[in-house]
Amino acid sequence: MAPALDPIIDVAQLHELLDRGADQGPPVHLLDVRWALDGSKGHHTYLEGHLPGAVYIDLDTELSAPPRPDAGRHPLPDPEEFAASLRRAGVTADSVVIGYDDSGGAPAGRLVWMLRALGHEAAMLDGGLAAWDGELSTADEHPAPGDVPARPWPADAIATADEVAAGGAVVIDARPAERYRGDSEPIDPRAGHIPGAVNLPFTGNLGEDGRFLPPEDLAERYTAAGVRPEGEAIVYCGSGVNATHDVLALQRAGFGKVRMFPGSWSQWSADDSRPVATGPNP
């Protein structure tokens, strides 16, 4: 069953969820997903101040399996291992999970997309930590274990490299333009992009205030790139983190047939049999 909650909520909606009584809805779990590729953000930044009651969850070790050339830098974790991480964070089967970060929503988007793909109610706090209007806590939260079950990753949410190559879907590259063009590639084996992919960096989903654009503006952005309500879109990035931001933006804009390529460019570029395009055009 698809989640009913909008994938992006503001702080007023978060307060409504947190303030409701136990008889008015399921419990709410806050998960802090602050992360940076260079290690500058993580559990240590969580301890410096986080939303009261929030539990830290690590993107590298709990939202990803170890890197592999045939699966990319952030493969999806084994379903049972992911469920165990959620239980450690106190998540229950009937709960609503709200994820947040402090870097535009991509790390939190990874968590929220994973949960929503599995049919679990989850949303991202728009604006992240900076949007919170209350006190912060420095407690290292260790809640009672949850009971969320393990569920297999659904095929209708995930695309394989072969499915990306087969065509038939609008393929969206969520990386910065310079990496899409192949001007530079600081991380992965080859520079460039998947042939035919259009470049829509995830940061374009945000306004100058760092919040998501309204649904109608997001719809205009993706429609201009060729996405249609009746068609399918597949999104990728470097390793399956930033791409989830575009997936949630597409869902917020009303596009229902959206999948993510988890291995993304880190998997594609590591396979010498896969073609690579460079330059500003698909």
Q: Answer yes or no: is 262 within a domain.
A: yes
Q: Among 170, 171, 219, 237, which one carries the catalytic annotation?
A: 237
Q: What domain range is 229 assigned to?
A: 161-268
Q: What is the average pLDDT score of the chain?
A: 96
- Mapped onto helix, strand or coil, the DSSP state of residue 129 is helix
pLDDT at 188: 96
Count, residues in the chain: 282
Mean pLDDT along residues 116-140: 97
Mean pLDDT along residues 176-200: 97
Element (H or E) spanning 281, and its range?
Answer: none
| Surface-to-core class of residue 144, CB atoms within 10 Å of its CB (0-12 exposed, 13-18 middle, 19+ buried) | exposed
Q: Answer yes or no: is 119 within a domain.
A: yes
In the chain, alpha helices (H): 11-19, 43-48, 79-88, 106-117, 161-166, 177-181, 215-224, 242-252, 264-268
Out of 131, 153, 185, a domain closes at 131
Give the DSSP letter of residue 12.
Answer: H
User: Are residues 28 and 120 part of one domain?
Assistant: yes
pLDDT at 249: 97
Joined together, the tokens standing for residue 55 give 């539990």
pLDDT above 60: residue 199 = yes
CATH number of domain containing 27: 3.40.250.10
pLDDT above 90: residue 23 = no
Q: Answer yes or no: is 89 within a domain.
A: yes
Give the tens place of pLDDT for each residue, 227-282.
999 999 999 999 999 999 999 999 999 999 999 999 999 999 999 999 999 999 99
Q: Which of 267, 206, 207, 273 is nearest to 236 (CA)?
A: 267
Q: Answer yes or no: is 279 within a domain.
A: no
What is the count of structural domains for the chain? 2
Give the tens place of pLDDT for each residue, 215-229.
999 999 999 999 999
**Residue 237 annotated as catalytic:** yes
Q: Answer yes or no: is 98 within a domain.
A: yes
**pTM, entire model:** 0.96
User: Are residues 258 and 169 part of one domain?
Assistant: yes
User: Are residues 172 and 125 part of one domain?
Assistant: no
Q: Answer yes or no: is 139 within a domain.
A: no
User: Are residues 167 and 264 part of one domain?
Assistant: yes
User: Are residues 109 and 38 part of one domain?
Assistant: yes
pLDDT above 90: residue 2 = no
User: Are residues 63 and 15 part of one domain?
Assistant: yes
Residues 198, 272, 76, CA angle at the centre, nearest 5°? 65
Q: Answer yes or no: is 30 within a domain.
A: yes
Give the tens place of pLDDT for each residue, 46-101.
999 999 999 999 999 999 999 999 999 999 999 999 999 999 999 999 999 999 99
User: Are residues 127 and 165 part of one domain?
Assistant: no
pLDDT at 1: 55
Strand partners, 81: none
Residue 24: pLDDT band by 50, 70, 90 thresholds? confident
User: Are residues 172 and 118 part of one domain?
Assistant: no
Q: Answer yes or no: is 136 within a domain.
A: no
User: Are residues 166 and 116 part of one domain?
Assistant: no
User: Are residues 168 and 126 part of one domain?
Assistant: no
Residue 219 · residue 15 · CB < 8 Å: no
pLDDT at 4: 80
User: Are residues 90 and 27 part of one domain?
Assistant: yes
Residue 90 · residue 78 · CB < 8 Å: no
User: Are residues 126 and 165 part of one domain?
Assistant: no
Mean pLDDT along residues 179-195: 97
